[in-house]
Amino acid sequence: MPDNQLQIGKATLSLAMGDITRQEVDAIVNAANTTLMGGGGVDGAIHRAGGPAILQECKQIRETSGRCQTGCAVITGGGNLKARYVIHAVGPIWHGGNANEATLLAGVYSHSLKLAAEAKVSSVAFPSISTGAYGFPVVLASAIALTTVKEFLRTESTVNDVRFLLFDNQTYDAYVNALKKIDT
Ligand code: ADP
């Protein structure tokens, strides 16, 4: 088994370097913010690549349900992306570690996977939620992300291919190290 992959029953959890907007998967996850109105980083990239239909749907969700609280996620179509769906997930801002950040981060991964399973998709790509502008330390975030996904993949659902699309070497290396640790 390569160091960037883990088999959990019939499901695969894998790590790759790359741009999540180009992934050929059923759903990609966006590291959104509570406004759901787009932003910088991966959020900006997804809205740029996906076109205005995604923002339009986000606006409708805002009108009917208000802001998306930290730890929550909502699902829209994928607009011009190859992915059929975008799951907009609001990770926690890092405040030093005593503001429930770890639980909120685990919750946002669980919530996203629950939406993916409800949409009956098989493949999902995640970015490294909260470790960019939100400042969550990547060593801790990667351990939380992989543990949460691994636990989810042990349960029965349509989701059988979860990939992390990591944008820089340092983040990729942190996830590879975290995967080694949860494998043993
Ligand atoms: P957050 O606000 O949740 O920290 P950011 O978008 O600032 O979200 O960063 C999250 C991670 O996404 C960072 O590691 C950043 O480098 C990465 N990222 C930025 N653009 C892309 C992209 N197109 N594909 C995948 N990851 C990306």
CATH of the domain at 118: 3.40.220.10
Distance 46 CA to ligand 1 centre (A): 10
Written as tens digits, the pLDDT of the chain (184 aa) is: 788 999 999 999 999 999 999 999 999 999 999 999 999 999 999 999 999 999 999 999 999 999 999 999 999 999 999 999 999 999 999 999 999 999 999 999 999 999 999 999 999 999 999 999 999 999 999 999 999 999 999 999 999 999 999 999 999 999 999 999 986 4
> Of 31, 6, 177, 160, which is closest to residue 105 (Cα–Cα)?
31
Burial of 65 (0-12, 13-18, 19+ CB in 10 A): exposed
Tell me the best of 128, 129, 139 to mutate to test the pocket of ligand 1, counting ligand atoms within 8 Å of each CB and taking the most. Answer: 128
Does 43 contact ligand 1 (Cβ within 6 A)? yes
| Residue 78: DSSP 8-state | -
* Ligand 1 midpoint to CA 31 (Å): 7
Closest residue by Cα to atom 19, ligand 1, is 42
Number of domains the chain contains: 1
Q: Measure 127 CA to ligand 1 centroid, in angstroms.
A: 6
How is residue 27 written in tokens?
A: 């759903």
Q: Is residue 123 a contact partner of residue 161, using CB atoms and an 8 Å limit?
A: yes
166 contacts 15 by C-beta, under 8 angstroms: yes
* Residue with CA closest to ligand 1 atom 18: 42
Domain residues for the domain of 154 are 5-181
Q: Tell me, what's the pLDDT at 184? A: 46
Distance separating alpha carbons of residues 19 and 95, to the nearest angstrom: 27
The active-site residue out of 3, 19, 26, 43 is 43
